[in-house]
Structure 1
Amino acid sequence: MKAITYRAFGAASEVLQLEDLPVPQPAAGEVLVEVAFTGVNPSDVKTRTRGQPGLSGFPWDYIIPHSDGSGVITAVGEGVSSSRIGERVWIWNGQFRRSCGTAAQQITLPGEQAVTLPDGVSLEVGAILGIPGLTACYAVFGQGEVAGKTVLVQGGAGTVGILAVQLAKWGGAHVIATCSPRADERVLAAGADVVLDYRAKDLAEQILQANGANPVDLIVEVEFGLNIETDSHVIAEKGCIAAYGSAQEMSPNLPFLPLLFKAVRLEIILVYLLTAVERTATISRLHAALSAGALRFDIEKVYKISEACLAHEAVEAGAREGAILIQMGEALAD
């Protein structure tokens, strides 16, 4: 099989390569998936440059990157029903704490990590459900129902953010989103009731005004370190800040006193580490939204298998209007 690999950490142009490797065989409890599409996420490019936290040095002979993907099960290991062969699936945690991820034409992994793709959902969309889909869904619903509440989505134009906007609206929330003005129409079309410029000097006041002078119940936060002052000002008593990113300020100063006197819950989200109960509930909710036709998935570009370097560089460049995918082989019938 062909696989995208790297054998040292570094820049995409220096370490990524396309090579031929043996097709893996599923062990007990595992399935073999013929990968149609692999998703490239910011965590994938960060892992390529500095590894995964908790793993020292370069722990394997080579790494096949990427956690997210989609495809069709072509073989099963002992203990897995043969009825799963031919099943269209999407994949989570493909390369988390293991050497071989979804950037290969075949992957073996535990059967529960290959989730049946709902009817009518494309394989391209399937490759976005792992990190972006689960992160957005858990951020919105991980603390409970949002019907009748106000949800603020900071970074509503990002791959996770725009899904969070749609999920919150589907869940019955009043949705306020922040983004760059050039993305206003996209975010409004996704269902946001109000869209604000994230760079506004009086952003906190605008958020409160957009909610009838009332604080917000839940904040889905992409840049915790940069936005915590604003968040602490606009969050309601007993509200929750669900933070899944803080790339621009990884060591923020925390305004503890206002958070304390509102008894704010701070949820740091890493979907790799969801419990089995949390993951099952989040997948169920995500599939329900898909079945209801409540989600639209933006795809910036689908790259060829030979263009992995360009795909990684596109993610690193930012300012995207959708997910970055790589097609790993011939398109499979949906």
Structure 2
Amino acid sequence: MRAIVYSESGTSDVLRLEERPVGEPGPGELRVRIAVSGVNPTDWKNRSGGGSGTNELDEQTPNQDGAGVVDAVGEGVNGFAEGDRVWLYLSAYQRPSGTAQEYAVVLARHAVRLPDGVSFDVGASLGVPAMTAHRALTVHEGGPTRLAHGALEGRTVLVAGGAGAVGHAAIQLAHWAGATVITTVSSASKAALAASAGADVIVNYREEDAAARIREAAPDGVDLIVEVSPARNAALDAEVLAPHGSVAVYATDGGGVMELDVRAHFVLNARYQFVLLYTVGQEALDAAAEDITAALLDDALPVGEEAGLPLTRFALEDTAAAHDAVSDGTVGKVLVDVADL
């Protein structure tokens, strides 16, 4: 089979296309024929040696997320059969078998049934973005701890950077769950994408007084902030957060050190929750997978420019270019086409 591999950290030049034998699934594993592989920032960061989840395996196939068809079922695995359509997450975490290959041997607990009628493009776009968004939306002091249609009714959610993959998923999930969704963007084109994703209020922070606009939309403050850039946005978040509000931080865009006005947060009884999918725990991952499946059944997580998430595609042999596209900040979702299933 064709597989993208690398044996040392570095730039995308370390990625190479090789022929490798098809692996056999062991106990608790599945072999999945990959249709589409999804690329996330964590993939190029791990490859470069600077991201969480980096391991010291002799040879690694990159990419955590993907979608395809179960090809073989390992011993002790229940709930899956050959031919099942699935989406995958954290495939390459502390394992050699990411999704940038024709057949991937993965942990069965990191595979989720893909409902009939839901495309492999959607499946490969879930994983890290949607599960991170789910966790960020379920850490508020007053709950909910699970998402469902209407679960966030009466809540106001602020999504920082709504045009990114996690931001896009957060808008979609929050909208599906009934929240009023406010998002910040940096351009008119990104505003259009956020609107297509389902945001109710869109604030261009480069052209408007972001705090004033957010407070206008949410006079009592926002209940939950899904935060991509805590170092840049800590002061803004403190200005717009409601009493007992929560800030869920899932990235460090703009720097890894932030300053907080301690007294302002005391008054608010505010909560900061940091979200890293690798170490969030299997219980939270399972909850996210179940709720995301419910959202898929409601057609709440479409992809494509018309849904606010443009798709940029690469062939398997061009996976290095796909990694570079993500590291260069390509707007939307970068996918690698592996097989036509």
**Per the shorter chain, which TM-score range?**
over 0.9
Equivalent AA in structure 2 for residue 327 of structure 1: D
Corresponding position of 1:110: 107
Corresponding position of 1:153: 159
Corresponding position of 2:205: 198
Q: Structure 1 stretch 294-303 or stretch 160-169: which is displaced more?
A: 294-303
**Matches of 1:109 and 1:92, distance apart in 2:** 9
Q: What is the percentage of aligned positions where both structures have the same residue?
A: 39
**Matches of 2:62 and 2:282, distance apart in 1:** 23
**Matches of 1:102 and 1:328, distance apart in 2:** 9
Corresponding position of 2:319: 308
SS class of match (1:220)? strand
Equivalent AA in structure 1 for residue 169 of structure 2: L
Corresponding position of 1:16: 15
Corresponding position of 1:122: 119
Equivalent AA in structure 2 for residue 88 of structure 1: R
Contact 2:139-2:246 at 8 Å conserved across structures = no
Corresponding position of 1:324: 334
Q: 1:113 to 1:319 in 2, by over 3 A?
A: closer
Q: Deviations over 1:203-252 (max 9, x none)?
A: 112211122x2211010111111111110111111111011111221112
- Displacement, 1:103? 1.1
**Matches of 1:299 and 1:84, distance apart in 2:** 32
TM-score normalised per structure 1 = 0.93
Q: 1:187 to 1:26 in 2, by over 3 A?
A: same
- Displacement, 1:277? 2.4
**Matches of 2:245 and 2:79, distance apart in 1:** 47
- Which of 72, 75, 81 aligns to 2:72? It is 75
Q: Structure 1 stretch 97-106 or stretch 308-317: which is displaced more?
A: 97-106
Q: Which structure 1 segments of 5+ residues have no match?
A: none
**Matches of 2:78 and 2:162, distance apart in 1:** 41
Alignment of 1:137-152 (within 5 A): 137-143=134-140, 144=144, 145-152=151-158
2:233 corresponds to 1:223 = no
**Matches of 2:276 and 2:158, distance apart in 1:** 19
Equivalent AA in structure 2 for residue 314 of structure 1: A
- Displacement, 1:272? 2.2
Corresponding position of 1:276: 282
- Which of 48, 57, 63 aligns to 1:60? It is 57
Contact 1:155-1:178 at 8 Å conserved across structures = yes
Contact 1:219-1:240 at 8 Å conserved across structures = yes
Corresponding position of 1:210: 217
**Matches of 2:252 and 2:235, distance apart in 1:** 13
**Matches of 1:101 and 1:77, distance apart in 2:** 17
- Displacement, 1:300? 2.2
SS class of match (1:247)? coil
Q: 1:134 to 1:54 in 2, by over 3 A?
A: closer
- Displacement, 1:200? 4.5
Corresponding position of 1:187: 194
SS class of match (1:141)? coil
Q: 1:283 to 1:327 in 2, by over 3 A?
A: same
Contact 1:226-1:246 at 8 Å conserved across structures = no
Equivalent AA in structure 2 for residue 120 of structure 1: G
**Matches of 1:285 and 1:53, distance apart in 2:** 25
Equivalent AA in structure 2 for residue 159 of structure 1: A
Equivalent AA in structure 2 for residue 316 of structure 1: S
Q: Which structure 2 segments of 5+ residues have no match?
A: 145-150, 304-308
**Matches of 1:306 and 1:157, distance apart in 2:** 28
Contact 2:221-2:241 at 8 Å conserved across structures = yes
Q: 1:200 to 1:54 in 2, by over 3 A?
A: same
- Displacement, 1:81? 4.5
- Cα RMSD for the two superposed structures: 1.7
- Displacement, 1:177? 0.7
SS class of match (2:137)? helix
Corresponding position of 1:167: 173
SS class of match (1:261)? helix
2:44 corresponds to 1:33 = no
TM-score normalised per structure 2 = 0.91
- Displacement, 1:53? 3.9
